[in-house]
Structure 1
């Protein structure tokens, strides 16, 4: 009997140790119990944050956004780490293209990672000029994610102006309309907390990708629906040297598949 008890206790201790190594993420939407950093064993963070109102790892679908600063990427390792999508910087303003864009675009596709392109908005060019530049540099390719318009305040020495909200939204909508017609998908808007508030972006007709690195978007952007959440700029992903932005999709894995069916370029 004592031998049996010892065996039972040993099995229990092994099980408890396994649970400690592999904590269970929060419930759907990230509103369940918040797991500690590293609950997703394939992703990490060089500056982990204590999430109090919904942990990003409570979301089932994660992705990255990248630009030239990520250097050489092993996209096979990235995919094997559980990354489900990638947004790649393509253009900025009306005359700048990211030198790594086309290479990343091809390599991500070869690794079978759904990918899309994002444009960094410049406040000294019209929306029409920037839309034309984006279209000139980004292929219209079936199976691509929708384009993204990155709207945030910049510290550009060549363009320090900050237009009023009515101008920001007018020109952004010009970009969204032109690019949306070309690719057959209205672009997603990426934005930051201060830019969203300063320009009252909540009334724009678009899906949102929200940056929120200190709390869950439902706390920072109350009432705003969103498709993607950028939750850290210091993420760690196998296949990428150094830090990278990490993002979560708003829904479940099944929601993700349904979203892809309706939002991929045809």
Structure 2
């Protein structure tokens, strides 16, 4: 039914339950890593580690816990003013999505510093753009391209799709779903061509449902679901990344931070990263 090109269809409830029944879970997934997977990650990124994260507002997961997934990361912006990237990596941060741009004329003031420091620490990183609905996608795509380096090893670019509730000009503007999808497709096509990457879409349950984002072509999904597994919050949707908390506590990061899980095992993370990194 859904046409997204994400990694898994909710990772498969039955498969995870079998894994748990066999004494599996994250530590069992660690054992899956093969020598070929390790060679794909290589010395720059190192092997993923199970996260040693806390949470300022922990959730009692009634369904599938984020800890079923062994590969975790963070997403950051100017609000994370101080990050010890080597410490964060040592405590389970395998990847980071870093805010780069907003609309057609704003650059996150911390982007350059976060981008450089994460790379130096060997954390796989990708840049994201926060979309404004009162400006054309073509302009925003050009702005992102102008401000984000095309670097070897970078993860795919990300388009953050939410309503602009804090914007003085865009806060109440809600284009029709077909207009939203047309604008999104323009950004995906333009940015994807430039970076030679299939972009990733980040979104929330209400935005995804209202705008029927499953109809889009040519993107992987990064889904926010802070009280439920994505298989519950986004029925039948394929996904690659799951943002499971906005109040994570990560050693090396000052204050709460968004935390995320990759859909697959350590071995599949190595394959995914090797196939998509520039």
What's the TM-score once normalised by structure 2's chain length? 0.82
Which whole-Å deviations, capped at 9, do the CAs of 1:164-194 have from their partners, x for residues lacking one? 0011000110000000000000210000000
Bigger relative CO (Cα 8 Å, ≥ 6 apart): 2
Residue 111 of structure 1 pairs with residue 121 of structure 2: yes
Which whole-Å deviations, capped at 9, do the CAs of 1:132-169 have from their partners, x for residues lacking one? 00001000001000000000112122113110001100
Q: 1:94 and 1:56 mapped to 2: Cα distance?
A: 35
Residue 76 of structure 1 pairs with residue 86 of structure 2: yes
In the other structure, the counterpart of 2:169 is 158
Q: 1:119 and 1:111 mapped to 2: Cα distance?
A: 23
Which whole-Å deviations, capped at 9, do the CAs of 1:2-58 have from their partners, x for residues lacking one? xxxxxxxxxxxxxxxxxxxxxxxx9975873799xxxx6711111110111100011
Q: 1:29 touches 1:59 (CA, 8 Å); kept in 2?
A: no
Q: 2:66 touches 2:261 (CA, 8 Å); kept in 1?
A: yes
Bigger-Rg structure (1/2): 1
Q: 2:151 and 2:228 mapped to 1: Cα distance?
A: 35
Residue ranges of structure 1 left out of the alignment (5+ in a row): 1-25
In the other structure, the counterpart of 1:251 is 264
Q: 2:51 touches 2:72 (CA, 8 Å); kept in 1?
A: no
In the other structure, the counterpart of 1:66 is 76
In the other structure, the counterpart of 1:183 is 195
In the other structure, the counterpart of 2:42 is none
In the other structure, the counterpart of 2:20 is 32
Per the alignment, in what secondary structure is the counterpart of residue 70 of structure 1?
coil
How many matched pairs? 236
Runs of 4+ in structure 1 off by over 2 angstroms are: 26-35
Match of 1:46 among 56, 77, 102: 56
Per the alignment, in what secondary structure is the counterpart of residue 98 of structure 2?
strand
In the other structure, the counterpart of 2:140 is 130
